[in-house]
Structure 1
């Protein structure tokens, strides 16, 4: 029996195999929705940032 996972976006069952080109997503649409959520900072990985922008040399003119 093939392994299945839930699509992170819509929770549809997805077969984890070479026959599923968008795994773990069920479709390109769900993949792009997820990418957009990351780009809009609706999703993030918890923790402190590796580099605080104010501490990067040469970034005085950005802020």
Structure 2
């Protein structure tokens, strides 16, 4: 089940997409391709909890 049926920012429609996420830390940058719910109106990205946890782990290693 998706946590949101509509964009929490503008109320637009959400669509599953593969997006590029840049993570920076300690002078380093990592580029990742991840799945996200993307608003077709405003472009807001919503990431699954496990994806956000992976961002935090990687940022911790970049410091």
TM over 0.5: no
Higher relative contact order (CA 8 A, sep 6+): 2
* Higher-strand-fraction structure: 2
- TM-score bucket of the superposed structures, by smaller chain: 0.3 to 0.5
- TM-score, normalising length: structure 1: 0.35
Rg comparison, structure with higher value: 1
